[in-house]
Amino acid sequence: MVRFGLHMSLRGGREALIRLLVTAAAVGIGVGLLLSVLGMYHAYQTAVAKPCWECTQQSSADGQLLWNYNEDVYAGKTIERLDVATLSTGAPTIPGLAHMPEPDQYYASPALAALLATAPADELRDRFPGALAGTIGAAGLQSPDELAIVIGQPTAALTSLPHTLRISHIQTAPRDLSTSQFYKFGFALGAVALLVPLLVLIGTATRMAAGRREERYAAMRLVGATRLQISTVASIDAVIGAFVGAILGLGIYALVRPLLSDLQLLGYRFYPDEITPTTWGYVGALIAVPLAAALACLASLRRVGISPLGVTRRVTPPAPGFWRALPLLAGLGVFCIPLLADPASQRHSPGLAVLSLVVVMLGLMIAGPWLTMVAARGLARWAHGGSGLLAARRLADNPRAAFRAVSGLVLAVMVGTALASIVPAAVASENTSQDSALANVLRVGFDNGSRAKQAPNVLAGLTPAAAAPVLAKISAIPGTNVVPLYHPSPADDALPQVGLFRGGESVISCADLKTLPVIGTCPSSATTVMVDTSSMYTDNLAALNDSLPFVTAQNPATTDDVGQLLVSDLMVSTDSAATLERVRTVLSAYGTDIDPDESPMTFGEVSAARAKLYLEIQRMVTIIAGVTLLVAGCGLAIAVSGGVVERKRPFTLLRVTGTDTGALHRAVLLETILPLVAATVVAAGVGLALAFPIARALAPARHALVLPHANYYLTLGAGLLVSAIIVTACLPILGRITATENARFE
């Protein structure tokens, strides 16, 4: 039977060859996309598992290396700066370097080396002493986009700096990412969102012309073939197509892989050689997907296994009832009502929400055939021609089969729409669109080494003598306005607070305040005032905007001489990006005086860093939505081609009786596109219904639903248009196989 099965598959005529090619193409797409997802996941795991040498904090009295790590910023990107001094030949070395740099030398990451070669010196190059001695290897970097530099310093110079550690070993543990579980969940969600429509595509391909094959296999049963023999022949047919498709999938993955290296996932790209599935990933993709194709083929022929005469006794199944929509409605109610009624408790105890979300997904799949039946009845009611009536009759005859072709799309669109709605809601709730009046204002916190010395009673800041040259150099840069904030004198403790401040009290000069009026206006006749700066270092611009202005008529005036106070912070407004980088270059010379926990960034840059995660999710949701719609279009193309082949006889009879080809084309197009559009609309509606209470739970103060970004609508629309074009391209086969001059029936 194996030889016979091979003969039927490879030499069974044009129909068998087309079915083999279509199955191979479907499996190839499935394997290629699955390998792409697994490759990106492996690259992510490799990146987050690399040793975090930047996290080294263990000081040792007998250490062989002086270590001073801090972070700088350029164009909103963090620069990891390490100043080192080697004390002996056995000193440890960070991954990616053969040895630590000598004094007046530095090693830079390839991305930073390229920036140093192109950026103006007063904006970047002047921040780093010495000469470039080489680049840091991939072993010491998480991404080719990472900006890192290791600078060799004289031992005496580094010993005198605050925050300098003497270490004996460099940390080899990976970075502790609080979003690791989130990204793992995101990969799993993306894999499911892609796999479900891919499995539907593969199942549709293997079921192509299943009706005609059922008749042939039934004839074989009538002449004595057993169920095992029929299953063997059918399995060989599916396995050959799946095997060819698996090889094709490897080629598709090889073509897609260069594009994956340009895709940012954690805010940066992965190294191309790390974007590869593991051995088990290859095994799973190359075995599981073909196996699923074989099982789908066997499942499509189950009626032949029951009885060879069962194929000829075709009976229209009963119409789906309204009860199919009840699980969906119940799941939506259980999910939405508690979240809208008590968002806070649901955030802390999400068990019921998760369970009801599963019920919604299952309910949507159960309700699909009934929704298709409703759409078919609507089409029949409003149809004005024979094409609409033919399509409505076909859909009403078997709505389960019509919905099956688009069932993989439903969950993907539902999840994608929900996420695409929640992400803008989260961004809007935090006001991370950089619309704050302080978005372009640089904030700088100073530290006199008290944190390194663990002296909590010593105020962190710059003395007047140390602050004077910093203020002078920044003020000398054209296009800047500098507003210093000072620690209050002990005498200010006697001022009435009246609940005005919540900690973080500072003193500001009214003369300086006039250069940055967005902060506020001093009371009349005041020269210095107390100001609450507790919200200054927030990464949420919404909270910052709520606290503006910092200074009002209620701020108590002081009699302090700011020339005698410690400078705790600076706020610097700049008129351009180049001016901003010149200010940061000046500050880099005083890097040891800057608070190591707060890099000098503008309020807008801090907000953008917080929004990056949400925007990455939004981009990935759009990509997944586009891919799933394209896959759904391919599945529909296969379904319409197979449906046309199976209905060769009735279509030819219609042609013989005078029906023109255009009417048949419109009928097939309607019965194919209608379930796709209906499924997309319903799934998107369910996704929006899920997003509204989630957005309310994340930001109870915002009551309006934040809709998905325009890119998501464009992606959905483009996907539907491409699907329609793909289906339309398959229609010419209808005219060829139903030509009246070739009318012949077996």
For 508-559, the pLDDT digits (tens) are 888 888 888 888 888 888 888 888 877 777 766 666 777 778 888 888 888 8
Secondary structure element (H or E) that encloses residue 16, with its range? helix 14-48
Which pLDDT score is estimated for 699?
A: 58
List C-alpha distances in Å: 5 to 122, 233, 239, 240.
75, 4, 11, 10
Q: Is the pLDDT of residue 252 over 80?
A: yes
- Encoded tokens for 641: 């081609």
In angstroms, how far is CA 501 from the centroid of its own chain? Answer: 40
Which pLDDT score is estimated for 108?
A: 96
Which pLDDT score is estimated for 503?
A: 42
Task: Give dist(CA 226, CA 220) in Å, integer.
Answer: 9
Residues 669-680 have a mean pLDDT of 80
Q: Is the pLDDT of residue 605 over 60?
A: yes
Provide the 3-class DSSP secondary structure of residue 378: helix
Which pLDDT score is estimated for 131?
A: 92
Which pLDDT score is estimated for 534?
A: 74
- Contacts for 363 with CB less than 8 Å, ≥ 6 apart: 325, 326, 327, 328, 329, 330, 331, 332
| Alpha helices, DSSP H, located in 207-226 | 210-222
Q: What is the DSSP letter of 704?
A: S
| Alpha helices, DSSP H, located in 589-660 | 603-646, 648-656
Confidence band of 494 (pLDDT split at 50, 70, 90): very low
Residues paired with residue 441 on neighbouring β-strands, in sequence order:
573
Provide the 3-class DSSP secondary structure of residue 83: strand
- Between 156 and 645, where is the model more confident? 156
Q: Is the pLDDT of residue 10 over 70?
A: no
| Alpha helices, DSSP H, located in 476-602 | 510-513, 541-547, 577-588
Short-list 272, 311, 289, CA closest to 32:
289
Token pair 């920036």 is found at: 115
- Between 375 and 710, where is the model more confident? 375
Provide the 3-class DSSP secondary structure of residue 122: coil
Q: Is the pLDDT of residue 117 over 90?
A: yes
Cβ-contact 678, 405 below 8 angstroms: no
Which pLDDT score is estimated for 499?
A: 35
Which pLDDT score is estimated for 83?
A: 92
Which pLDDT score is estimated for 450?
A: 45
Instruction: Give pLDDT tens digits for 344-359.
Output: 555 555 556 667 777 8
Q: What is the DSSP letter of 68?
A: E
Q: Is the pLDDT of residue 381 over 60?
A: yes
- Between 32 and 299, where is the model more confident? 32
Confidence band of 182 (pLDDT split at 50, 70, 90): low
- Contacts for 351 with CB less than 8 Å, ≥ 6 apart: none
Task: Give dist(CA 64, CA 695) in Å, integer.
Answer: 53
Cβ-contact 708, 432 below 8 angstroms: no
Burial (CB count within 10 angstroms: exposed 0-12, middle 13-18, buried 19+), residue 113: middle
Cβ-contact 548, 442 below 8 angstroms: no
Return the number of other C-beta atoms located less than 10 Å from residue 739's C-beta: 11
SS (H, E, C) 139-168: HHCCCCCCEEEEEECCHHHHHCCCCCEEEC
Residue 453, CB-side half-sphere exposure with 13 Å CA sphere = 13
Short-list 653, 740, 651, 630, CA closest to 394:
651
Q: Exposed e or buried b for every residue in 83-98, given b needs 16+ CB within 10 A?
A: bbbbeeeebbbbebbe
Provide the 3-class DSSP secondary structure of residue 398: coil
Task: Give dist(CA 115, CA 137) in Å, integer.
Answer: 17
Length of the chain: 746
Confidence band of 263 (pLDDT split at 50, 70, 90): confident
Q: pLDDT above 90 covers what percent of the chain?
A: 12
φ/ψ of residue 483, rounded to 5: -125, 105
Confidence band of 500 (pLDDT split at 50, 70, 90): very low
Domain boundaries, the chain: 1-49+178-315, 53-167, 368-434+605-746, 447-594
Which pLDDT score is estimated for 430?
A: 56
Instruction: Give pLDDT tens digits for 451-490.
Output: 444 445 556 678 888 888 889 999 999 999 999 988 887 6
Provide the 3-class DSSP secondary structure of residue 489: coil
Instruction: Give pLDDT tens digits for 191-211.
Output: 666 666 677 777 776 666 556
In angstroms, how far is CA 393 from the centroid of its own chain? Answer: 42
Q: Is the pLDDT of residue 185 over 70?
A: no
- Between 12 and 279, where is the model more confident? 279
Instruction: Give pLDDT tens digits for 694-709.
Output: 776 665 555 455 667 7
Confidence band of 2 (pLDDT split at 50, 70, 90): low
Which pLDDT score is estimated for 452?
A: 42
Q: Is the pLDDT of residue 615 over 90?
A: no
DSSP labels for 560-583?
A: --GGGS-EEEEEEEESSHHHHHHH
Q: Is the pLDDT of residue 16 over 80?
A: no
Helix (H) and strand (E) counts in the chain = 24, 13
Q: Is the pLDDT of residue 435 over 60?
A: no
Return the number of other C-beta atoms located less than 10 Å from residue 744's C-beta: 7
- Mean pLDDT, all residues of the chain: 77
Q: Tell whether omega for the bond before 464 is within 30 degrees of 0, i.e. cis.
A: no
- Between 533 and 137, where is the model more confident? 137
Instruction: Give pLDDT tens digits for 708-736.
Output: 777 777 777 776 777 778 778 777 777 77
Provide the 3-class DSSP secondary structure of residue 109: coil
Confidence band of 126 (pLDDT split at 50, 70, 90): very high
Residues 649-675 have a mean pLDDT of 81
List C-alpha distances in Å: 495 to 488, 491, 492, 556, 559.
11, 8, 5, 7, 11
Confidence band of 81 (pLDDT split at 50, 70, 90): very high
Residues 403-422 have a mean pLDDT of 73
Q: How does strand 77-86 pair with strand 147-152?
A: parallel
Which pLDDT score is estimated for 446?
A: 81
Q: What is the pTM of this model?
A: 0.72
Task: Give dist(CA 76, CA 267) in Å, integer.
Answer: 12
Q: Is the pLDDT of residue 5 over 50?
A: yes
Token pair 């105020």 is found at: 459
Instruction: Give pLDDT tens digits for 566-591.
Output: 888 889 999 899 999 999 999 888 76
Q: pLDDT above 70 covers what percent of the chain?
A: 73
- Encoded tokens for 300: 């499509």
Task: Give dist(CA 387, CA 670) in Å, integer.
Answer: 8
Burial (CB count within 10 angstroms: exposed 0-12, middle 13-18, buried 19+), residue 489: middle
Phi-psi region of 624 (alpha: psi -120 to 50; beta: other; left: phi over 0): alpha
Confidence band of 652 (pLDDT split at 50, 70, 90): confident
Task: Give dist(CA 94, CA 52) in Å, integer.
Answer: 9
